[in-house]
Amino acid sequence: MQKSGVHRTPSLKVSVPQGQQQSLRRLGLCSQIATGGSQQSSPVVFPEKRGKKIKAASSPEEKAKADEHRIDIGGGGDEKSDLLGSLVYSGKLLLDKRGKDDAADVFNKKAVDARLTRRALVWASNVLQLDDVVSLTYNVGLKHFTVHAYPVGKGCFTKPKRSRKDFRFIAPTVEEAVQWVASFADQQLFINCLPHPLVSKKKQGSSELFSVPIDTPPELVFRCKSAPKMLVILNPRSGHGRSIRVFNDVVEPIFKLAGIKMEVVKTNKAGHARELASTVDISLCSDGIICVGGDGIINEVLNGLLTRNNQKEGVSIPIGIVPAGSDNSLVWTVLGVRDPISAALSIVKGGLTATDVFAVEWIHTGVVHFGMTVSYYGFVSDVLELSEKYQKRFGPMRYLVAGFLKFMCLPKYSYEVEYLPAQKEDPEGKTRLEREVVDVQDLYTDVMRRSSREGLPRASSLSSIDSIMSPSAGELDTCSSTHASAEPSEYVRGIDPKMKRMSSGRRDVAAEPEVIHPQGQSTTPSWPRTRSKSRSDKGWMGLTSVQDPPPTRSSWGNTGAHDREDISSTVSDPGPIWDTGPKWDSEPSAWDVENSIELPGPPEDIETGLRNQSMTPRFENKWVARKGHFLGIMVCNHACRTVQSSQVVAPNSEHDDGTMDMLLVHGCGRLRLIRFFILLQTGRHLSLPYVECVKVKSVKIKAGKQTHDSCGIDGELFALNGEVISTMLPEQCRLIGNAPERH
Ligand SMILES: Nc1ncnc2c1ncn2[C@@H]1O[C@H](COP(=O)(O)OP(=O)(O)OP(=O)(O)O)[C@@H](O)[C@H]1O
């Protein structure tokens, strides 16, 4: 019978020329461990492989020879052999099921040919993928070693699941066992290297069995990867309290097997994760912060990291995700992982996936909140708000309940939307991503670079909309303007070099201490405006929520009266819900140039504008405006798959394409809404005539007067309170784990 998770192959043929199998006997620690020799003076020596270890091919000829070692499954030829990669080590092994097959006669009878390749361990007709292996345990001086793995089992009636399997193998000799273990270590697997079981603690120091101190880290004995240091932030409320169980029962054992040195902190209130991420000593989490929970806790950690005093540190800390919340769209969409075991394995295996971040800035207050998944307005954010009421009673079902209730008393939502498209129609009428003229240096991820030399006027209004739109709500209007009067703040542009470059032509304007809106440039008829100051004028202290002198805003009606109304609303603007306390660091030094990131990137002259020519976008930035009724607006940073269903909100969006996909569900009424949600289940929602999907670089949104103006960012609820602008910050976060290959 087939063992779960271990694949049997009907005929397994390996063509390894005998010549290549000759011993490459070299001196090393492994022989010392194997023989208990004590001549070795330094313990920090990588064990040289003996026997059938195959040397990595360096020259083309060697490579060609190495190819001959590929394992041919079922005689299928080269294509299939690539599945397992090239051979690393081979020999005889016995899978010891009962834990007492050590006897030589048993071994001789039952041992089978075994091979370790770059991707799998193969013995007899069994294949264990190395991707499923967490670590090995080896007791020094013994002939056996144990491989700890989490292969996917065979689900008879249920979905196949991963479960732990420990394979105890016996090698013919101690020396060969060491060779096997060292070969696994070469494949970046953690080796849990323990003393000989017979050595009592007292004798450990003087034991002749070892030439190394007993507490020598395994990475010094075997050349395996060193144990990572991580901070685990666990939201005990996530997934209706399921997260603690998920962590204790599933994730922690895997992390322990993998030798991860972790500090576990359970959050005690909303906002705790954010505080931790913004203040934690980096030495505690140099290899990452692991979030155990839903998308909400990840969002908190992201915001904490991006607002650390030292930006460089903040951006350098990768985020690992263990899905244990009511939904985990980010890790499912970006890394293709949706169960905690696979997530833990992916964290153990390492690798980093750069992911775009978007910044939503409240233009009136300058407050910025970051997200990685989606920001939404209209029906969905209303559901989010209503669902809070039912948190205790319905748990994860509360969204369904709130959705139904909101649907039954569906209000009308009206918005002003202005966006900078990332797509351009070419002469054949096909849309394609707008590309800036960039040189190679532009391809670097320029993380959190900020220049104090820039001082552009901050975003101020939707003036271009007003000029063209009729005040009649419900009518859909479209226009383009070549001059957007609102831009993301210097802070946001400071994070994203591309935004700065897009704005580089306005440097001269920025140099002025006070900026009067360039009315002449706008397509908007001029109406009285007050002056809005640039960030530098206001002694911009980074992410403060200090209320600025209220800038005048244009509103739905293009009249001064409306302007006045907006002023009053601005004055009393309480800002986003969470922004009630002094949570932001207001240290000016946080944004000083001395802290600018020194990661590989464009040279300084980009910052000084000397290379403006090559950085100027090829196309003139054309802001497009929409105004009217919208059932919903969703600005997605990735495809936004949901774990619970097969929904894919923005199928064409990628987490690292430097753009956001904005979905506008035009109009109002239940019929439209229900059609949208029904087609969303089958992925055909974009075909609806009232659904518009645009790739955008930046988008400004303002709720109409009668509209309940809440907004959701990655599942966190905020009050809209005026105009917000969302801006792309390409690849400003790194997730732990490798994204599946895209085709
Ligand atoms: N100890 C805590 N007590 C109460 N709320 C907390 C605590 N820790 C975190 N939170 C908040 O819980 C919210 C939801 O967290 P998360 O997304 O991780 O779980 P979830 O189960 O997916 O939640 P939801 O069902 O609300 O989406 C976050 O907004 C976070 O701020």
Give the pLDDT confidence of 548-567 residue by residue, as tens digits.
333 332 222 233 333 333 33
If asked whether residues 97 and 208 sit together in one domain, one would say yes
Q: Phi, psi (5° rounding) for residue 21? A: -85, 0
If asked whether residues 383 and 433 sit together in one domain, one would say yes
Please determine, for residue 91, whether its predicted confidence score (pLDDT) is greater than 70: yes
303 lines ligand 1 (CB under 6 A): no
Q: Give the pLDDT confidence score for residue 122 in this predicted structure.
A: 94
User: Average pLDDT in the 374-383 region?
Assistant: 93
User: Is there a domain that residue 356 lies in?
Assistant: no
Between CA 426 and CA 452 the distance in angstroms is: 38
395 lines ligand 1 (CB under 6 A): no
Between CA 269 and CA 475 the distance in angstroms is: 44
Please identify, by atom number, the ligand 1 atom nearest to the C-alpha of residue 298: 18
Please determine, for residue 652, whether its predicted confidence score (pLDDT) is greater than 80: yes
Please determine, for residue 166, whether its predicted confidence score (pLDDT) is greater than 70: yes
Between CA 171 and CA 93 the distance in angstroms is: 5
If asked whether residues 178 and 268 sit together in one domain, one would say no
Q: How many domains does the chain have?
A: 3
Q: Give the pLDDT confidence score for residue 538 in this predicted structure.
A: 34
Indicate the residue among 350, 382, 412 that finishes a domain: 350
Please identify, by atom number, the ligand 1 atom nearest to the C-alpha of residue 296: 17
Instruction: Compute, in angstroms, the gap from residue 368 CA to the centroid of ligand 1.
Output: 20
If asked whether residues 337 and 448 sit together in one domain, one would say no
Q: Give the pLDDT confidence score for residue 6 in this predicted structure.
A: 58
The two structure tokens encoding residue 428: 């054949």
Please identify, by atom number, the ligand 1 atom nearest to the C-alpha of residue 236: 1
User: How many other β-carbons are positioned within 10 Å of the β-carbon of residue 422?
Assistant: 22
Least confident range of 66-80, 343-357, 523-537, 650-664: 523-537
Q: What is the pLDDT of residues 447-477, one digit of tens each?
A: 333 333 332 222 222 222 233 233 333 334 4
Using alpha carbons, select from 136, 135, 158 the residue that is nearest to residue 146.
136
The two structure tokens encoding residue 601: 């990137």
Instruction: Compute, in angstroms, the gap from residue 239 CA to the centroid of ligand 1.
Output: 8
Between CA 149 and CA 167 the distance in angstroms is: 8
Q: Which of 72, 287, 295, 339 is catalytic?
A: 295
- ipTM over cut 0.90: yes
183 lines ligand 1 (CB under 6 A): no
Please identify, by atom number, the ligand 1 atom nearest to the C-alpha of residue 274: 31
Local confidence band at 218 (pLDDT 50, 70, 90 cut-offs): low
Please determine, for residue 496, whether its predicted confidence score (pLDDT) is greater than 80: no
Is 339 annotated as catalytic? no
Report the nearest-CA residue for atom 18 of ligand 1: 294
Please report the DSSP string for 495-510 in residue order: H-HHHHHHTGGGHHHH
Between CA 557 and CA 471 the distance in angstroms is: 5
Instruction: Compute, in angstroms, the gap from residue 723 CA to the centroid of ligand 1.
Output: 26
496 lines ligand 1 (CB under 6 A): no
Least confident range of 315-329, 475-489, 631-645, 653-667: 475-489
Residue 565 belongs to a domain with what CATH number? 2.60.200.40
Q: Give the pLDDT confidence score for residue 728 in this predicted structure.
A: 93
If asked whether residues 346 and 403 sit together in one domain, one would say no
Q: Give the pLDDT confidence score for residue 213 in this predicted structure.
A: 56
User: Is there a domain that residue 359 lies in?
Assistant: no
Is residue 717 within 8 Å of residue 343, measured between CB atoms? no
If asked whether residues 47 and 192 sit together in one domain, one would say yes
User: Is there a domain that residue 95 lies in?
Assistant: yes
Instruction: Compute, in angstroms, the gap from residue 146 CA to the centroid of ligand 1.
Output: 39
Is residue 236 within 8 Å of residue 244, measured between CB atoms? yes
Is residue 43 within 8 Å of residue 193, measured between CB atoms? no
Least confident range of 163-177, 310-324, 604-618: 604-618
User: Average pLDDT in the 517-524 region?
Assistant: 33
Using CB atoms within 10 A of its CB, is residue 404 exposed (0-12), middle (13-18) or buried (19+)?
A: exposed
Between CA 91 and CA 109 the distance in angstroms is: 15
If asked whether residues 438 and 548 sit together in one domain, one would say yes
Mean pLDDT taken over the chain? 69
If asked whether residues 238 and 186 sit together in one domain, one would say no
Instruction: Compute, in angstroms, the gap from residue 241 CA to the centroid of ligand 1.
Output: 10
297 lines ligand 1 (CB under 6 A): yes
Instruction: Compute, in angstroms, the gap from residue 297 CA to the centroid of ligand 1.
Output: 6
Residue-number span of the structural domain to which 408 is assigned: 369-736
Higher pLDDT, 668 or 155: 668
Residue 320 belongs to a domain with what CATH number? 3.40.50.10330
Residue 538: C-alpha distances to residues 532, 534, 535 (Å): 10, 7, 5
If asked whether residues 278 and 427 sit together in one domain, one would say no
235 lines ligand 1 (CB under 6 A): yes
Residue 169 belongs to a domain with what CATH number? 2.30.29.30
Look-up of token digits 């051979």:
87
If asked whether residues 207 and 291 sit together in one domain, one would say no
User: Is there a domain that residue 218 lies in?
Assistant: no
Please identify, by atom number, the ligand 1 atom nearest to the C-alpha of residue 715: 27
If asked whether residues 472 and 404 sit together in one domain, one would say yes
If asked whether residues 615 and 482 sit together in one domain, one would say yes
Q: Give the pLDDT confidence score for residue 656 in this predicted structure.
A: 92
User: Average pLDDT in the 343-367 region?
Assistant: 94
Q: What is the pLDDT of residues 502-519, one digit of tens each?
A: 333 333 333 333 333 333
User: Average pLDDT in the 339-363 region?
Assistant: 94
User: Is there a domain that residue 434 lies in?
Assistant: yes
Please identify, by atom number, the ligand 1 atom nearest to the C-alpha of residue 267: 1
195 lines ligand 1 (CB under 6 A): no
Instruction: Compute, in angstroms, the gap from residue 155 CA to the centroid of ligand 1.
Output: 32
Local confidence band at 721 (pLDDT 50, 70, 90 cut-offs): confident
Please determine, for residue 368, whether its predicted confidence score (pLDDT) is greater than 70: yes
Please identify, by atom number, the ligand 1 atom nearest to the C-alpha of residue 399: 25
58 lines ligand 1 (CB under 6 A): no
Instruction: Compute, in angstroms, the gap from residue 715 CA to the centroid of ligand 1.
Output: 9
Q: Give the pLDDT confidence score for residue 337 in this predicted structure.
A: 92
293 lines ligand 1 (CB under 6 A): yes
Report the nearest-CA residue for atom 25 of ligand 1: 326
Indicate the residue among 212, 237, 272 that finishes a domain: 212
Indicate the residue among 350, 383, 414 that finishes a domain: 350
Please determine, for residue 41, whether its predicted confidence score (pLDDT) is greater than 60: no
Q: Give the pLDDT confidence score for residue 391 in this predicted structure.
A: 79
The residue whose CB lies within 8 Å of the most ligand 1 atoms, and thus the one to mutate among 232, 233, 234, 238, is 238
Report the nearest-CA residue for atom 5 of ligand 1: 270
The two structure tokens encoding residue 132: 């499923």
The residue whose CB lies within 8 Å of the most ligand 1 atoms, and thus the one to mutate among 232, 237, 387, 388, is 237
Using CB atoms within 10 A of its CB, is residue 161 exposed (0-12), middle (13-18) or buried (19+)?
A: middle
Please determine, for residue 56, whether its predicted confidence score (pLDDT) is greater than 90: no
Q: Give the pLDDT confidence score for residue 220 in this predicted structure.
A: 57
Q: Give the type of residue at 198.
A: L
Instruction: Compute, in angstroms, the gap from residue 38 CA to the centroid of ligand 1.
Output: 56
Instruction: Compute, in angstroms, the gap from residue 414 CA to the centroid of ligand 1.
Output: 30
323 lines ligand 1 (CB under 6 A): no
Q: Give the pLDDT confidence score for residue 665 in this predicted structure.
A: 96
The residue whose CB lies within 8 Å of the most ligand 1 atoms, and thus the one to mutate among 232, 235, 319, is 235
User: Is there a domain that residue 382 lies in?
Assistant: yes
Q: Give the pLDDT confidence score for residue 224 in this predicted structure.
A: 65
Beta bridge partners of 718: 711
Q: What share of the chain in percent tops pLDDT 70?
A: 57
User: Is there a domain that residue 55 lies in?
Assistant: yes
User: Is there a domain that residue 52 lies in?
Assistant: yes
243 lines ligand 1 (CB under 6 A): no
Q: What is the pLDDT of residues 674-720, one digit of tens each?
A: 999 999 999 999 999 999 999 999 999 999 988 888 899 998 999 98
Q: Give the pLDDT confidence score for residue 13 in this predicted structure.
A: 39
Using alpha carbons, select from 202, 272, 195, 180 the residue that is nearest to residue 231.
272
